[in-house]
Amino acid sequence: MLRLLGNLAEGVGQLAFAIIVITHFHSAWRWLVVAIGLLGMVGSGRGVVLAMQDLRRRDAALTPE
């Protein structure tokens, strides 16, 4: 559960950072920073998916049938 929350918090932080960079910096470098931020958000999204899969597997293993 902490892994899921950590990945969600990381994604929100990266999104906020990308928005700040887009709106406040007016150099050509901002698009490089935005691209790196988007790649980081994809990684965070993948981490969220993996954490959800782990939680589902753990819940399935703990549920007696």
Give per-residue pLDDT as tens, 21-45.
Answer: 778 777 777 778 778 877 877 777 7
Apex CA 31: angle with CA 27 and CA 37, to 5°?
Answer: 130
**What does R_g of the chain's alpha carbons equal in angstroms?**
16
Residue 4 has pLDDT above 60, yes or no: yes
- Residues 12 and 56: beta-carbon distance below 8 Å: no
What three-state secondary structure class fits 39? helix
Whether pTM > 0.85 for this model: the answer is: no
